[in-house]
Amino acid sequence: MQFIDVLPLFAALFAFPQFLPQIRKLVGDGDASGVSPLWSALTGVNNAAWIVYFVDVGYTTAIVPNASVVAMSAVLTVLIVRFSQSAVPVVVGPGSWALVVLTTTMVWGTEGLQGVLAAAFAVQVIPSLWAAFTIKVPTGLSIGTWRLVLCEMTCWLAFGIGRADTTLTILGITGVAASAAMVWRAWSTAADLREPGSEPTSAIPFSDAALTS
């Protein structure tokens, strides 16, 4: 067995707990500032589609963690909606995207699904980037969640390149770029709040926990 063959396992290990830091932060702080419910709902839709793809191509290692991401993204979406009180896009956006994925797959089969999945992470993460970068202080972001996403996407990028899998390579490229941007945004927000003279906030306490949650 080559090292590349265990990369899906490493990706799975990062995927399993990836939403737990964000869920813990939301429950602990009650602050959804900068966290998009549309992102988490689309994550559930896309990971359900990825399960179909992984079954088709035989990457069985990824099926169970993807199923766990679907479940946790549903929990996270409910929590974000609860604290942000913005439910309409969560129904309309993911529902429309799910219809696109389903229709494309039914009409064009596996090739259609591959095409949709190539664009899926970009569709999924744009609301998150928008929510995080269009407000001054996104105090609700969890750097822990985005670190795990970055690690998972790095594994899939390496695996996709090694296996000449275009769909996974595109996922990896967009995933690494977007999650790195989110890690930086969460880190810089916490760092700014820790500077002397910054306004105190109950959403992010002045402790090292702000950089690890």
Any idea which residue has 């402790």 for tokens? 207
Q: Average of pLDDT values for 11-29? A: 94
Q: Average of pLDDT values for 69-86? A: 88
Q: Go through the chain and tell me how many residues it has.
A: 213
At residue 1, the pLDDT reads 64
Domains in the chain: boundaries:
3-212
Any idea which residue has 């927000």 for tokens? 189
Tell me how crowded residue 37 is: count the other CB atoms within 10 A of its CB: 27
Token pair for 81: 């909606």
The 8-class DSSP code of residue 103 comes to: H
Element (H, E) at 202: none
CA dist 45 and 124 (Å) reads 9
Q: Average of pLDDT values for 45-73? A: 90
Any idea which residue has 């950089």 for tokens? 211
Q: Average of pLDDT values for 112-140? A: 93
170: pLDDT strictly greater than 80: yes
Grouping H, G, I as helix, E, B as strand and the rest as coil, residue 105 is helix
Question: pLDDT-based confidence at 85, cuts 50/70/90?
Answer: low
Element (H, E) at 84: helix 63-84
Distances in whole angstroms, Cα of residue 80 to Cα of each of 28, 33, 48, 168, 177:
13, 9, 20, 29, 24
Q: Average of pLDDT values for 108-137? A: 93
Q: What is the pTM (predicted TM-score) of this model? A: 0.85
Max Cα distance, the chain (Å): 58
Least trusted range by pLDDT, from 51-60, 82-91, 163-172: 82-91
At residue 88, the pLDDT reads 57
What DSSP line would sit under 28-74, residue for residue? HH---TT--HHHHHHHHHHHHHHHHHHHHHT-GGGHHHHHHHHHHHH
Neighbouring residues of 14: CB distance < 8 A, sequence distance ≥ 6: 148, 149, 151, 152, 155
